[in-house]
Amino acid sequence: MEFTISQESHQCSGRLGEMTLPHGKVQTPAFMPVGTQGAVKTIGSEDLEALGYELILCNTYHLSLRPGENLVESLGGLHRFMSWDRPILTDSGGYQVMSLSKYRKITDDGVTFQSHLDGNTVHLTPERSIEIQRKLGVDISMALDVCPAYSATEKEVREAMDRTHAWAPRCLEAAGENQAVFGIVQGGVHPDFRAESAEVITGMPFAGFAVGGVSVGEPTDMQYPVVQTTAPLLPADRPRYLMGVGHPKDIIHAVKNGIDMFDCVLPTRTARHHGLYTMNGIVNVLNQKWEGHNGPVDPESVFPATARYSAAYMRHLFKAAEPLGARIATLHNLAFYARLMHDIRDALSKNAWPELEKKYENA
Amino acid sequence: MEFTISQESHQCSGRLGEMTLPHGKVQTPAFMPVGTQGAVKTIGSEDLEALGYELILCNTYHLSLRPGENLVESLGGLHRFMSWDRPILTDSGGYQVMSLSKYRKITDDGVTFQSHLDGNTVHLTPERSIEIQRKLGVDISMALDVCPAYSATEKEVREAMDRTHAWAPRCLEAAGENQAVFGIVQGGVHPDFRAESAEVITGMPFAGFAVGGVSVGEPTDMQYPVVQTTAPLLPADRPRYLMGVGHPKDIIHAVKNGIDMFDCVLPTRTARHHGLYTMNGIVNVLNQKWEGHNGPVDPESVFPATARYSAAYMRHLFKAAEPLGARIATLHNLAFYARLMHDIRDALSKNAWPELEKKYENA
HSE (side-chain half, CA atoms, 13 Å) at A339 = 17
Distance from chain centroid for Cα A362 = 23
Contacts of B317 in chain A (CB under 8 A): 39
Count of all residues that appear for chain B in the document: 363
Residue B328 forms contact with A (CB below 8 Å) = yes
What are the backbone angles phi and psi of residue B211, rounded to the nearest 5°?
-95, 105
B91 labelled catalytic: yes
Rounded-to-integer distance, Cα A165 and Cα B39, Å: 52
Q: How confident is the model at residue A103 (pLDDT cuts 50, 70, 90)?
A: confident
Say which amino acid occupies A66. R
A38 and B313: CB-CB below 8 Å? yes
- Catalytic residue, from B47, B91, B250, B260: name it: B91
Longest dimension (CA), chain B: 60
Q: Does A295 touch chain B (CB under 8 A)?
A: no
Comparing CB atoms, the residue among B37, B309, B328 nearest residue A320 is: B37
**Model confidence over B25-51: pLDDT tens digits?**
999 999 999 999 999 999 999 999 999
Q: In 10 A of CB B355, how many CB atoms?
A: 14
On whether any CB of chain B is under 8 Å from the CB of A194, the answer is no
Q: Compute chain A's Rg from CA coordinates.
A: 20
Residue ranges with strand state E in chain A: 2-8, 15-21, 24-28, 30-32, 56-59, 88-91, 104-106, 111-114, 121-124, 140-142, 180-185, 208-211, 240-242, 261-263, 275-278, 281-284
A269-315 confidence digits (pLDDT tens): 999 999 999 999 999 999 999 999 999 999 999 899 999 999 999 99
pLDDT computed for residue B182 by the predictor: 98
A317 touches B: beta carbon within 8 Å: yes
CB contact under 8 A, A46 and B76: no
Q: What percent of chain B has pLDDT over 70?
A: 100
Computed over its alpha carbons, how large is the radius of gyration of chain B?
20
Domains in chain B and their CATH numbers? 2-264 (3.20.20.105), 265-363 (no CATH)
Neighbours of B280 (CB within 10 A): 10
Predicted local confidence at residue A98, as pLDDT: 79
Confidence at A94, pLDDT banded by 50, 70, 90: confident
Q: What is the residue-averaged pLDDT of chain B?
A: 96
**Cβ within 8 Å of residue B194, ≥6 positions away:** B185, B187, B188, B226, B229, B230, B233
Asked if A87 and A47 count as a contact pair (C-beta separation under 8 A), the reply is: no
pLDDT at A12: 97
Q: What is the pLDDT of residues A166-207, one digit of tens each?
A: 999 999 999 999 999 999 999 999 999 999 999 999 999 999
pLDDT at residue A150 tops 80 = yes
* Cis upstream peptide for A87 (omega within 30°): no
Give the pLDDT confidence score for residue B99 in this predicted structure.
Answer: 83
Distance (Å) from the alpha carbon of B81 to chain A's nearest alpha carbon: 6
For residue range A307-356, list pLDDT tens digits in order. Answer: 999 999 999 999 999 999 999 999 999 999 999 999 999 999 999 999 99
User: Is A101's pLDDT higher than 80?
Assistant: no
**Statement: residue A104 has pLDDT above 90:** no
| 3-state class (DSSP) for residue A207 | coil
Residue A116 contacts B where some CB pair is shorter than 8 Å: no
Nearest C-alpha in A relative to B35: A322
Residue of B nearest to A311 (CA): B81
Q: What residues of chain A lie within 8 A of the CB of B46, using their CB?
A: 304-305, 308
Instruction: Give residue A302's pLDDT.
Output: 87
pLDDT surpassing 90 at residue B102: no
**How large is the angle between the packed helices B126-136 and B154-174, nearest 10 degrees?**
50
CA A94 distance to own-chain centroid: 14
Q: What is the pLDDT of residues B171-220, one digit of tens each?
A: 999 999 999 999 999 999 999 999 999 999 999 999 999 999 999 989 98
* Contacts with B329 from chain A: Cβ below 8 Å: none
B43: exposed, middle or buried (Cβ count in 10 Å: 0-12, 13-18, 19+): buried
Lateral strand order in the sheet of A240-242 = A30-32, A261-263, A240-242, A208-211, A180-185, A140-142, A88-91, A56-59
CA distance B13 to chain A (A): 39
B81·A316 Cβ contact <8 A: yes
Beta strand A275-278 pairing with B56-59: unpaired
Amino acid found at B254: A
Res. A102 pLDDT band, cuts 50 70 90: confident
For range B286-306, the mean pLDDT:
94
ipTM for the complex shown? 0.97
Please choose, from the candidates B137, B67, B81, the residue with its C-alpha nearest in 3D space to the C-alpha of residue A316: B67
The reply to whether residue B75 touches residue A309, judged by beta carbons under 8 angstroms, is no
**Across the interface, which of B40, B42, B292 has its CB nearest the CB of A71?**
B292
- CB neighbourhood size of B50 (10 A): 17
Asked if B292 and A74 come within 8 Å (Cβ–Cβ), the reply is yes
